[in-house]
């Protein structure tokens, strides 16, 4: 008697579970059970209510600081911007031996150089003739080569090591140096020279450029990098960009060479031979 009762109870329980499952499924079926809510699109901009006229407040106008955009040889990177500081019209061109010396000579005698600009060529070995930590402001172009094992030449080694010293304060060159760096390398010295370019053989220029910026120097032109394996074809475009940057930074067309220099700066220049580019005749 007990067995049939248990069987009937189990059957009733199964029927109840099946009914509950069907009811739950019907309630989640679209169009049945709970009515589906229609989708209402968000209001468009022209349909939004406008605030009262008195509540409309125009956004504040923030004046932009003036700056000079300097042309670079890297169009896909941000161009270096120089603030209109009263930089001197005397440019120190520091170079090591060989090709760097020839490029410095080419720059000094360029017919397209801004008129009224004075160039002072200085060997990297004599870099201490310039008072880097003094109060005078300097504009410098540094042309350095990279040899095997990412080392500088013997002539430029002392100058590179001087700037790389960690004892220098972080702001040693802030407001005192506007500079540009040109690196000369040779990817023939690399093992994988078939897949390398100028950026892979100019470590000295890269380190020097980065360090001068860390010390507070202001780059006026994107760093140039040339490769002897490809004929140093990067030099000419960089020199043209440098000339435009020098004109924008020094304002050479508006004043005579030497104006704006301190007595310390001019006395230091007078002790060394210079190449002065004559003003153009109209």
Residues 171-222 pLDDT 10s = 899 988 999 999 999 998 887 767 788 899 999 999 999 999 999 999 999 9
**In this structure, are strands 138-145 and 177-185 parallel, antiparallel, or unpaired?**
parallel
pLDDT of residue 57: 53
Q: Is 148 helix (H, G, I), strand (E, B) or coil?
A: helix
pTM of the predicted protein model: 0.61
The pLDDT, as a whole number, for residue 40 is 56
Dist CA 8 CA 84 (whole Å): 99
Give the pLDDT score at 275.
Answer: 35
Contact 103, 240 (CB under 8 A): no
State the average pLDDT for the chain: 73
Q: In this structure, are residues 88 and 250 in contact, taking their beta carbons and an 8 Å threshold?
A: yes
Look at residue 251 in the predicted model and tell me its pLDDT. 64
All structural domains of the chain: 86-275 (3.40.50.360)
What confidence score (pLDDT) does residue 25 get? 63
Backbone φ and ψ for 270, nearest 5 degrees, come out as -65, -20
Structure tokens at 175: 């407001």
Instruction: Check residue 179 and give its pLDDT.
Output: 95
Q: Flag residues of the chain having pLDDT under 70.
A: 1-6, 24-86, 88, 133, 193, 251-282
Q: What's the confidence (pLDDT) of residue 266? A: 40
Up-side HSE of residue 181: CA atoms within 13 Å toward CB?
23
Closest to 253 in 3D by CA, of 276, 279, 220? 279
Q: What is the CA radius of gyration of the chain?
A: 36
């Amino acid at each position: 008697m007990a067995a049939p009762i248990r069987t009937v109870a189990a059957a009733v329980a199964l029927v109840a579970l099946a009914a509950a499952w069907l009811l739950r499924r019907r309630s989640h079926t679209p169009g049945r059970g709970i009515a589906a809510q229609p989708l209402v699109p968000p209001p468009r901009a022209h349909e939004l209510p406008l605030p009262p006229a008195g509540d409309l407040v125009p956004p504040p106008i923030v004046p932009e600081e003036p700056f000079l955009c300097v042309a670079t040889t890297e169009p896909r990177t941000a161009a270096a911007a120089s603030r209109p500081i009263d930089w001197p019209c005397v440019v120190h061109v520091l170079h090591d031996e060989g090709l760097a010396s020839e490029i410095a000579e080419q720059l000094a005698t360029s017919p397209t150089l801004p008129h009224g600009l004075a160039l002072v060529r200085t060997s990297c070995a004599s870099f201490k003739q310039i008072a880097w930590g003094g109060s005078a402001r300097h504009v410098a172009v540094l042309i350095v080569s990279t040899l095997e094992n990412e080392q500088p030449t013997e002539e430029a080694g002392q100058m590179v090591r001087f700037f790389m010293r960690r004892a220098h304060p972080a702001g040693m060159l802030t407001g005192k140096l506007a500079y540009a760096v040109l690196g000369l390398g040779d990817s023939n010295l690399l093992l994988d020279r078939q897949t390398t370019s100028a950026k892979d053989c100019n470590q000295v220029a890269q380190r020097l450029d980065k360090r001068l910026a860390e010390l507070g120097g202001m780059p006026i032109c994107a760093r140039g990098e040339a490769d002897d394996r490809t004929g140093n074809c990067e030099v000419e475009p960089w020199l043209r960009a440098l000339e435009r940057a020098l004109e924008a930074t020094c304002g050479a067309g508006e004043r005579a060479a030497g104006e704006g220099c301190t007595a310390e700066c001019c006395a230091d220049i007078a002790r060394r031979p210079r190449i002065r580019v004559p003003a153009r005749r109209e």
